[in-house]
Homo-oligomer: A and B are copies of this chain.
Amino acid sequence: MFERYMVTPEIPFDLNNIDPNFSENFKNKKDVEKEFSKLKEKLCDLQDILYAEGKRRILIVLQGMDTAGKDGTIKHVFKEVHLQGIRVANFKSPTATELAHDFLWRVHKEVPGNGEIVIFNRSHYEDVLITRVHKLIPEKIWIKRYEHIRNFEKLLFDEGTIILKFYLHISKDEQKKRLIERRDNPKKRWKLHKEDIEERKYWNDYINAYNEVIAETSTFYAPWYIIPANKKWFRNYIVAKIIVKKLESLNMKYPDPEPGIENIEIE
């Protein structure tokens, strides 16, 4: 059902062949509105059980070009979820201390604990993307990182973490539209920097890097999903749907109450 968005190691994969405008048979926001509301409610209920059960850990990785909608996805998909059990981890430019360690050191500290959902807004994948496109580190270093990422994610998986990785797929034209919106909106202009526009020159380099990274690191234990993201409403809907289906498949349960508690006298 949502396997169509999953990258499987067996099938050759190229972002250039995936339409960022795709939206199944839905024409506009209205078409998914009702189901999206239901999905958000379900997500809320499932998170309640996840937290109560306290056995599984959910890691959601969001990647995409600038303006692809990482923040918007976080804002809209998780709106109803109880703050108590969910958290966003941001990975900005590494500090001196972080750079003085291996690239997974700062990432490992942020992974979810039992009952927790953690959303990585950007992630360790930047360490094989921006670092490569801008030649910040030599190939002999980053080429080995695919294996380190696979091993790291296998560790998390084997010890109880469910990992879902989303690439939010927009077109270069759509990015242009969004950057112009950002430039022309006084409340959002502060977010725009000249370097964001410079960065567009490397669009194809990023696509090529993503193609390789995603193919190298989409595994059965930590699959990548490519989300057509030109239409924000479809992006939110499909991300919510994939997460809900995954959580439903876990058959989680509220913990058993303390024996005899249902008849206890409360004075």
A84 on the interface (CB 8 Å rule)?
yes
Residues of B within 8 A of A254 (CB): 186-187, 189-190
Residues of B within 8 A of A88 (CB): 83-84, 87
A141 on the interface (CB 8 Å rule)?
no
Interface window among A149-157, A234-242, A256-264: A256-264
Give the most central of A179, A180, A190: most B CB within 10 Å. Answer: A190
Residues of B within 8 A of A121 (CB): 84
CB distance from A54 to the nearest CB of B (A): 10
Q: Tally chain A residues at the interface, Cβ within 8 Å.
A: 43
Nearest residue, chain B, Cβ from A80: B79
Q: How many copies does the complex hold?
A: 2
A194 on the interface (CB 8 Å rule)?
yes
Task: Check if B71 sits within 8 Å of A183, measured CB to CB.
Answer: no
Task: Tell me which residues from 221 to 267 in chain A have a Cβ below 8 Å from any Cβ of chain B.
Answer: 254-258, 261-262, 264-267
| Given A189-B261, A261-B189, A266-B197, residue A75 in contact with residue B71 (CB < 8 A) | no
Nearest residue, chain B, Cβ from A175: B266
14 contacts between A and B (CB under 8 A): A52-B190, A74-B82, A78-B83, A83-B88, A183-B266, A187-B254, A189-B254, A190-B254, A190-B256, A190-B257, A193-B258, A194-B261, A197-B265, A197-B266
Residues of B within 8 A of A184 (CB): 262
Bitwise, A183-205 to B at CB < 8 A (1) or not (0) is 11011011111100100100000
How far is A190 from B115 in the complex, measured between Cα atoms in Å? 15
CB distance from A115 to the nearest CB of B (A): 11
